[in-house]
Amino acid sequence: MLLSLIMASCDRKKELIPSYLHITKFSFTTNFATQGAATSDISDVQVYANSQYMGTYELPVTIPIPLSGLTYLQLVPGIKENGSPNSRIPYVPYITYTDTIILAETRVDTVRPNTTYKPNAFFPLIEDFEDQSVSFAKSGNSNTIDSVKIITVGNPELFMPGVNSKFTGFIEMNGTNFPEIFEITSLNSYLLPNRGTDVFIELDYKTNTFVQIGIYAEKPTIYEQIPLYVLYPTDTYKKIYINLKVEVSDFDAGVKSKIFFGIYHNDVNLQPRVYLDNIKLVYLN
């Protein structure tokens, strides 16, 4: 009896010898004409091996896989929802990377996943400033003469690696009549799905001041301002994914929305400078 238990224990230990998988960062491509620039911040991956959930990990990562031999992999790209490290979710507009590989116990195999937008990803708004026009205008809340300018990406500080971009949106506030309020809203209003669908604003930004992002809901009896997220100062370009699902799910049928960006300036020692690029509104149809 004792011998049988020892042999069974040895068998279990042998079964637990894992294979290893090293997963690099995702590469990301787009059809520029219909999906805009290929900027992304895919921070995480959900791993499935032979349809078994292996966990969610920050990239790049090396993980044990309790399987060997021919293995079907599904790698789901994930993001920090609303920029929060505490809200890591699969990004539903991106396709899942799949591959079939042969794993071997103790061996480390490397996978270099790639992704793009799903065929049914819908973009009511893509603003990359490349056509020298602007999809936003100052709102009635602004009390400054400043506006969104389009500038060339000639300065190395404005260069985003891997992005074929020549222009970016630029806001510079030069007034001294404090406090100053600068606000722009999208020219168009958008009828967004209100049935619990993920609806995202994507953008790249670089700023030396705080920038409020939100939506205006065009309700029958009120034009309601709904703040969503505050961009914090950053010396380098960052990518953000802002989910509107909670806010728009409460809208009645037919209620449209406009996107807004706002700056409150009350610091004599600061000249606000904000760069915005590759602004997208995206959800699955």
- Report pLDDT for 162: 62
So where are the chain's domains?
A: 2-115, 121-284
* Cβ burial, residue 84 (10 Å; 0-12/13-18/19+): exposed
- Which two structure tokens, joined as six digits, stand for 28? 């990301």
Q: What is the pLDDT of residues 177-202, one digit of tens each?
A: 778 899 999 999 999 998 889 999 99
Q: What is the band of 208 on the pLDDT scale with cuts at 50, 70, 90?
A: very high
Q: What is the band of 13 on the pLDDT scale with cuts at 50, 70, 90?
A: low
Query: CB 93: neighbour CB atoms within 10 A?
Result: 24
Q: What is the band of 11 on the pLDDT scale with cuts at 50, 70, 90?
A: low
- Report pLDDT for 140: 84
- Report pLDDT for 142: 84
Q: What is the pLDDT of residues 22-71, one digit of tens each?
A: 999 999 999 999 999 999 999 999 999 999 999 999 999 999 999 999 99
Q: What is the band of 1 on the pLDDT scale with cuts at 50, 70, 90?
A: low
Q: What is the pLDDT of residues 233-258, one digit of tens each?
A: 999 999 999 999 999 998 998 999 99
| 99 in Cβ contact with 109 (< 8 Å) | no
CATH of 2-115, one of 1.10.20, 2.60.40, 3.40.109, 3.90.70: 2.60.40
Q: What is the pLDDT of residues 169-179, one digit of tens each?
A: 999 988 777 78
Backbone φ, ψ for residue 281 (5° rounding): -110, 125
Greater confidence, 128 or 177?
A: 128
DSSP labels for 129-195? STTS--SEEE-TT--SS---EEEES-SGGG--TT----EEEEEE----SSSEEEEEEESS-EE---S
Architecture of domain 121-284: Sandwich (2.60)
Q: What is the pLDDT of residues 28-41, one digit of tens each?
A: 999 999 999 999 99
- Report pLDDT for 2: 47
| Helix or strand (DSSP H, E) at 248 | helix 245-249
